[in-house]
Structure 1
Amino acid sequence: MENWKAIAFLLAAGQGFILSLSLIVRGARGPKASFFLGLILFVLSQELLNAWGMQVRYHQQAGAFRFWNYQSYLVLPLALWFFARLTTLPDYHFKKKYWLFFLPIAAEIGFRCFWQAYASSLQLKRTSLLDNNFWFLWTEILPIVGMILVLWIYAKKLSRFRIAWQRQLARLKPIQYLRLYGLFGFMILLTVLWFSGVILAWPIFSWVNFLLTVCLFGMGYLGYLNPDFFILPTLQAPKSTEKPEFFQYNDLAELQRLHAAFTTDALHTRSRLTLEDVAAHLNLPARYVSYLVNTHCASNFTSFVNGFRVNEVICKLGDPKEQHKTVLALAFEAGFNSKSTFNQVFRQRTGKSPSQYLPAQK
């Protein structure tokens, strides 16, 4: 029975590592939500690999690679926070300065490795860092408190997102509820067990390992079928009737300039185009450009730009001069920066995937 546990832990951890690394690489090039989902799965895979190591007594072997030194629970609340914002706020952008929030994680891992090397060089009897009250609060209690706060905020954001989603679809299907609440429910259950084991000292870590094994297998299956399963769709922003305090501008004239910037200047072909880029091109305040898009186009900025990109791809698909190019090459030329984002937006706009759309056109 113990051997089967070890095998199950190792297989689930391996699948989790493969899926998490693929999401991290994909998120580094495209949607950042995939990157932070990959970080979450990476930490959970590390935890399950650690359970395997304890099951087979790998930690006690001479010369064992101390992979557990590179694990930090502080990653979980931070990664979940950014994942929640990126999936529920369509115009939210992750800025480079936000990486500073991850410095305590680097400090934790760096000190743990230093302590290991220092103790080994002096042949000291290694005492657990968890015996230090400050270290225990920093690496065990703080992540749990952070998860509780993030999950509370995440719950409110999901509730607002569900209401907005239902306004557009009238009724959500069970699979859409799973996309909406699946990861959230898993993290809630994991945090409850985590709290019970660390704070209440209940013997529940076998249940944690069981939960991680089942969920990593399940999420791995979903991830291979659809890597964007837990990435929520981009919703159209409600039409705003409140005009910002820019009375000196003529809406109709500026709206024509805005459309010309895309139809004539082809701004949408710039990868990672931002609202600030468009505002600078038009020499207009970014808030006023957002008002034009929301009010006169009944859309948010991301959907507005992607509409031009999809239209350009469709036009080129019917152009004999472009037949030598792949659909993905046309998508990148139109400004998309990842295949998954293009496929998702194309399906939302046309009701078909690119592979289904081509035969229908022919």
Structure 2
Amino acid sequence: MENWKALAFLLASGQGFVLSLSLIVRGARGPKQHIFLGLILLVLAQELLNAWGIQVHYHQQPDPFRFWNYQSYLVLPLSLWLFARLTTSPDFQFKKKYWLIYFPVVAEVGFRLFWRAYASSSNVKRPSLLENPIWFFLTEILPIAGMVIVLSLYAQKLNRFRLAWQQQLPVFSARHYLRLYGLFGFLTVLTFLWFAGVILEWPIFPVVNLLLTVCLFGLGYLGYLDHSFFMLPSLHKQKSADKPEFAQYDDLSQLQHLMAAFNQDGLHTRSRLTLEDVAAHLHLPVRYVSYLVNTHCASNFNNFVNGFRVQEVIRKLGDPKEQHKTVLALAFESGFNSKSTFNQVFRQHTGKSPSQYLQLQK
């Protein structure tokens, strides 16, 4: 049994290293959020490799490679904070100077290596750094506190992001919830167990190792199938609510009229519908209609209209009276004017191609 556990730890940590390094390389060439998700997974893979070392008594070997000295838990809250900002704040731009926040990580690893070298060169046995209460606080307690704070802020950002995202999707499925809250939920459970083991001294580290093993395998397969699964879509930044030129209009009332024009009058089924067409239908200024969509729906006009069109296609796919029609015919009836646009928009809003969605329904 112990051998199987050690093998599982080793395989899961190996998969975690491969996935984290691939994310870091991808982030160096593209969206920076990949880098910080990769750094999070790198620390978790290191932790599981350490569990493997304990399991097979690697640490007690005469001359082991002390890979655990290169691990820092401070990476977790710092990387999660940057990952949260990059994925939930449309206006946040990563700058090179932000790398300076990792200075405590470099300082921790550097001092740990120095202390190890000093202890090895000395004839006097030196105590472990963890026996020093200040070091223990800085390297064990502070990262936990940081994770609690960052997770609290991340939860608020995710909830605001969800409200904006739901405005752009006709159906908010369980897959969307998993994509939005999956990583957050995993790290929340992990932080709670971490707190219980370090602060409360509960014997829960076997549970932590099991959780890391299962999740690194799961995240690994998700990463291979869809490397952008936890990379949230880009939402259009909401414009300022200040509207002195439209002060005579009641936003709530006009927003209800706007939604009724699509939900009841079916404006979206008109091919090549324009913002001017909607404004004329509502007898409102074009700029005010644009303001309503951008500010209150957190979207641009095209995404706003296409959301209703996708919803119309999904409704027709579930209607027995429409079963004799092809998916493309339903798309044209719902307002789309080309197959390529329909396929692209449908995948953007549902996370699946039309054929994949139809197969799941069957």
Q: Same fold (TM over 0.5)?
A: yes
1:115 lines up with 2:134 in the alignment? no
RMSD: 3.0
Q: Are positions 1:152 and 2:160 aligned together? A: no
Preserved contact between residue 23 and residue 35 of structure 1 (Cα < 8 Å): yes
Give 1:176's aligned amino acid: H
Specify the code of the residue in structure 1 equivalent to 2:181: Y
- CA-CA distance at 1:155 after TM superposition: 0.6
**Alpha-carbon distance in 1 for matches of 2:59, 2:182:** 34
Question: 2:82 aligns to what?
Answer: 82
- Paired position in structure 2 for 1:46: 46
Letter in 2 for 1:212: L
* Cα pair distance change 1:347/1:239, threshold 3 Å: farther
Aligned partners of 1:28, 1:147: CA distance in 2, in Å?
25
Structure 1 counterpart of 2:76, one-letter code = L
Is residue 195 from structure 1 mapped to residue 165 from structure 2 by the alignment? no
Q: Whose radius of gyration is greater, 1 or 2? A: 2
2:91 and 2:237 in contact (8 A); partners too: no
Find the counterpart in structure 2 of residue 168 from structure 1.
168
TM-aligned CA distance change 1:348 to 1:69, over 3 Å: farther
- Percent identity of equivalent pairs: 66
1:104 alignment counterpart:
104
- The alpha-carbon deviation at position 99 of structure 1 amounts to 1.1
**Closer, same or farther: CA 228–204 of 1 in aligned 2, 3 Å:** same
Q: Which amino acid aligns with 1:7?
A: L
Question: What is the aligned partner in structure 1 of residue 60 from structure 2?
Answer: 60
* Pairwise CA distance, 1:242: 3.0
Separation of aligned partners in 2, 1:349 and 1:209:
41
Query: Residue deviations 1:230-252, cap 9 Å, x none?
Result: 001112334545379xxxxxxxx
SS of alignment partner, residue 101 of structure 2: helix
Task: Give, in whole Å, the separation in 1 of the partners of 2:123 and 2:131.
Answer: 19
Q: Aligned partners of 1:160 and 1:36: how far apart in 2?
A: 21
Partner of 1:135: 135
In structure 2, the gaps of 5 or more residues are: 245-289, 304-340, 354-362
Question: Residues 240 and 295 of structure 1 are in contact (CA less than 8 Å); yes or no, is this contact kept in structure 2?
Answer: no
SS in 2 for 1:156: helix
Hey, what's the Cα distance between the residues in 1 that align with 2:24 and 2:291? Answer: 36
Aligned residues: 269
2:213 aligned residue = 213
Secondary structure of the structure 2 residue equivalent to 1:93: coil
Q: Distance in 2 between matches of 1:26 and 1:124?
A: 46
**Partner residue in 2 for 1:281:** none
Alpha-carbon distance in 2 for matches of 1:347, 1:179 = 23
Q: TM-score with structure 2 length normalisation? A: 0.68
Query: Normalising to structure 1: TM-score of the pair?
Result: 0.68
CA contact (8 A) 1:144 1:194 kept: yes
